[in-house]
């Protein structure tokens, strides 16, 4: 069985993980400082969201130099040290490959826009206006049309995401070779693979038809273009197959039926893919008209369908949280009354599905959505642009928008990691001076942080009550608000308690590593219709396990499911009924 199937991935969002130098932004030395923590947690693979040079229109998913480290994150030496530190501890490191688009500040685009006959013109997707307007009616993920006219040549370029994220032209073999070269550069350094950003979008229908009838605004239309498998097979042949590495595709717009084309054993494309069927829908209009949360039977049906369709022909990457979704605990748990129980229950389900699980940073301590009180407190371009389009330009209700954003925005997952209950939750060094600036407390005189929307460094000039004698001080704030619940939810507290969420995660991870039935066993849903309990079995060879997870805050008795010896549970006492958010892993009596 290949390593990637047994592995547990941990996703780091570098901006928010650990800031070693006190500029308000997480960095690579900060990650190095926490490698022992990650090793101790027991994870095998670290996936870093983009660490490359970027003007940060989309927090690093807009890359201006694929071979340079974002200066606020550190240097190439820091990267080399990080990679060595990861390997020394027996872990692996995978990078985010963002090659559907680059930044408009990338040298290629700067050249490309200069003239129609520039050698880099074909690195991007340019089209003449159609009837004086956009070449088709496609919309961008971040509001407005997916085309922008460029004055220099009067043509439009395609950007499925922000205007500052022009789509690369994969039809151009020269562009493809540049990307492959860049991938080799990182693989030659020793990185262990890639998570591939919106990979199904690389190939487009080059006739650029309007949305098909009845699907206006359907952003999944961009996925699975005519040459996608040809491109991925080429990438595999030319690059991936020459290295020992693992790949995870972000499968936006890929259906369960299509997924095996990307990851099927004989396809020679990718190792794993993750889908969006259970993700929070966040297209622009959702900020006013939110989709209801999935019911448990719906959620189970999605997992069942994917497992059944993929079987072990292909392989899934399983997740509940990532940097594009709100916190899973705030979706399916009860952070107020059952923080421990509901977080550990969700962890149990995540880590006992068939597929390679990804844990998102902070979920291992039960981090929750953050109360954002105004649009200014947000950072994400998606929520900002939707606000502009719906509230400012569209006159829709600010109140409804903010209420919804507090449920669905991506920034909930991006607030700084909560390391301890001291200043800045331990995300930044407390006190101290840097560049002539003095760091302050996270809240001074009851004030919360000011957010900056563009700059990597949140500089807040203010007089602090206790320091008025010290003349005017410039304070450095974290780039995004710290969740005010950090005094209650933080790593330091949980590290010393055997009954903490973190301790449960460690126990569960260690147990999983010794349990082949979880890596490779068949999955069967035992109670697909049950409204409160997710009950399933995992079977491999002569090992059989039954997992019960109560998604409700009530006692639930499930006599339909056989009982057995409790292998692991998030409750210490026994009971017939499942208690609120109880999770039990059972070895059924023979």
Residues that bind ligand GLC (CB under 6 A): 58, 61, 98, 161, 197-198, 250, 323-324
Residue nearest to ligand GLC (CB): 61
| Two tokens, residue 222 | 């961009």
For 580, other C-beta atoms within 10 Å of its C-beta total 18
- In the sheet with 92-97, reading across from the earlier edge strand, the strands are 272-274, 246-250, 193-196, 92-97, 45-48, 9-12, 356-360, 317-319
CB of 62 vs ligand GLC, minimal distance in Å: 7
Q: Which residue in 58, 197, 364, 379 is the catalytic one?
A: 197
Using the minimum distance from each CB to ligand GLC, give the nearer residue, 79 or 142. Answer: 142
CB of 199 vs ligand GLC, minimal distance in Å: 10
Nearest Cα to 368, choosing from 342, 404, 395? 342
Active-site residue, 250 included: yes
Grouping H, G, I as helix, E, B as strand and the rest as coil, residue 430 is coil
For 88, other C-beta atoms within 10 Å of its C-beta total 10
Using the minimum distance from each CB to ligand GLC, give the nearer residue, 164 or 512. Answer: 164
CB of 275 vs ligand GLC, minimal distance in Å: 13
544 vs 587: CA distance, rounded Å = 7
Using the minimum distance from each CB to ligand GLC, give the nearer residue, 102 or 550. Answer: 102
Q: Which residue in 23, 44, 163, 250 is the catalytic one?
A: 250
CB of 327 vs ligand GLC, minimal distance in Å: 16
| Two tokens, residue 333 | 């748990």
How would you classify the pairing of strands 437-438 and 458-461? unpaired
CB of 217 vs ligand GLC, minimal distance in Å: 17
Strands of 207-345 (E only): list them. Answer: 246-250, 272-274, 317-319
Tokens 């500029």, located at residue? 23
**N residues, the chain:** 590
579 vs 587: CA distance, rounded Å = 19
CB of 387 vs ligand GLC, minimal distance in Å: 16
Using the minimum distance from each CB to ligand GLC, give the nearer residue, 259 or 549. Answer: 259
Cβ 65 vs Cβ 37: under 8 Å = no
470 vs 463: CA distance, rounded Å = 9
Crossing angle of helices 228-238/173-189, nearest 10°?
A: 40
CB of 266 vs ligand GLC, minimal distance in Å: 28
Nearest Cα to 59, choosing from 253, 157, 197? 197
Using the minimum distance from each CB to ligand GLC, give the nearer residue, 319 or 571. Answer: 319
Cβ 268 vs Cβ 237: under 8 Å = yes
Using the minimum distance from each CB to ligand GLC, give the nearer residue, 100 or 344. Answer: 100
21 vs 26: CA distance, rounded Å = 8
The residues near 484 (Cβ < 8 Å, ≥ 6 apart) are 370, 371, 448
Using the minimum distance from each CB to ligand GLC, give the nearer residue, 27 or 197. Answer: 197
What residues are annotated to the active site?
Answer: 197, 250
């Amino acid at each position: 069985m290949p390593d990637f199937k047994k592995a547990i991935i941990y996703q780091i969002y570098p901006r928010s993980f650990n800031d070693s130098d006190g500029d308000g932004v997480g960095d690579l030395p900060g990650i190095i400082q926490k490698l022992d923590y990650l090793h101790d947690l027991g994870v095998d693979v670290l996936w870093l969201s983009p660490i490359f040079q970027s003007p940060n229109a989309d927090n690093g998913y807009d890359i201006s130099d694929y071979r340079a480290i974002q200066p606020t994150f550190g240097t190439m030496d820091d990267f080399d040290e990080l990679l060595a530190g990861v390997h020394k501890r027996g872990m692996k490191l995978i990078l985010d490959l963002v090659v559907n688009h680059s930044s408009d500040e990338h040298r290629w685009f700067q050249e490309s826009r200069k003239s129609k006959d520039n050698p880099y013109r074909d690195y991007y997707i340019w089209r003449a206006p159609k009837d004086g307007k956009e070449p088709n009616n496609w919309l961008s993920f971040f509001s407005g049309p997916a085309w922008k006219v460029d004055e220099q040549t009067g043509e439009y370029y395609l950007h499925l995401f922000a205007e500052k994220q022009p789509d690369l032209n994969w039809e151009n073999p020269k562009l493809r070779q540049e990307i492959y070269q860049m991938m080799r550069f990182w693989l030659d350094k020793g990185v262990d693979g890639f998570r591939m950003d919106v990979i199904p979008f690389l190939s487009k229908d080059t006739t650029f038809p309007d949305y098909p009838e009845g699907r206006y605004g359907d952003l999944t239309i961009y996925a699975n273009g005519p040459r996608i498998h040809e491109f991925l097979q080429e990438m595999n042949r030319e690059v991936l197959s020459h290295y020992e590495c693992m790949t995870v595709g972000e499968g936006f717009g890929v259906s369960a039926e299509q997924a095996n084309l990307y990851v099927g054993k004989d396809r020679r494309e990718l190792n794993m893919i993750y889908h969006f069927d259970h993700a929070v829908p966040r297209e622009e209009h959702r900020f006013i008209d939110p989709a209801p949360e999935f019911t448990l039977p719906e959620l189970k049906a999605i997992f069942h369908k994917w497992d059944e369709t993929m079987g072990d022909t292909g392989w899934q990457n399983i997740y509940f949280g990532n940097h594009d979704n709100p916190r899973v605990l705030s979706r399916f748990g009860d952070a107020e009354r059952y923080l421990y129980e509901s977080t550990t229950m969700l962890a149990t389900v995540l880590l006992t599905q068939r597929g390679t699980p990804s844990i998102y940073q902070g979920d291992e301590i039960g981090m929750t959505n953050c109360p954002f009180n105004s649009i200014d407190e947000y950072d994400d371009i998606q929520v900002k642009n939707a606000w502009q389009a719906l509230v400012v330009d569209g006159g829709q209700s600010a109140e409804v928008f903010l209420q919804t954003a507090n449920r669905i925005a991506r920034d909930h997952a991006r607030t700084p990691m909560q390391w301890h209950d001291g200043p800045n939750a331990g995300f930044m060094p407390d006190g101290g001076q840097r560049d002539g600036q003095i760091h302050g407390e996270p809240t001074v005189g009851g004030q919360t942080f000011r957010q900056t929307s563009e700059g990597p460094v949140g500089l807040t000039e203010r007089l602090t009550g206790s320091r008025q004698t010290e003349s005017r001080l410039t304070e450095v704030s974290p780039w995004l608000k710290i969740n005010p619940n950090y005094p209650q939810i933080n790593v330091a507290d949980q590290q010393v308690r055997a009954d903490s969420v973190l301790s449960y995660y460690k126990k569960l991870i260690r147990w999983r590593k010794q349990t082949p039935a979880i890596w490779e066993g068949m999955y069967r849903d035992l109670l697909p219709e049950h409204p409160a309990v997710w009950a399933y079995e995992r079977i491999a060879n002569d090992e059989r396990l039954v997992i019960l997870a109560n998604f409700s805050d009530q006692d639930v008795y499930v006599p339909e499911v056989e009982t057995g010896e409790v292998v692991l549970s998030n409750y210490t006492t026994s009971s017939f009924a499942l208690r609120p958010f109880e999770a039990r892993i059972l070895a059924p009596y023979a």
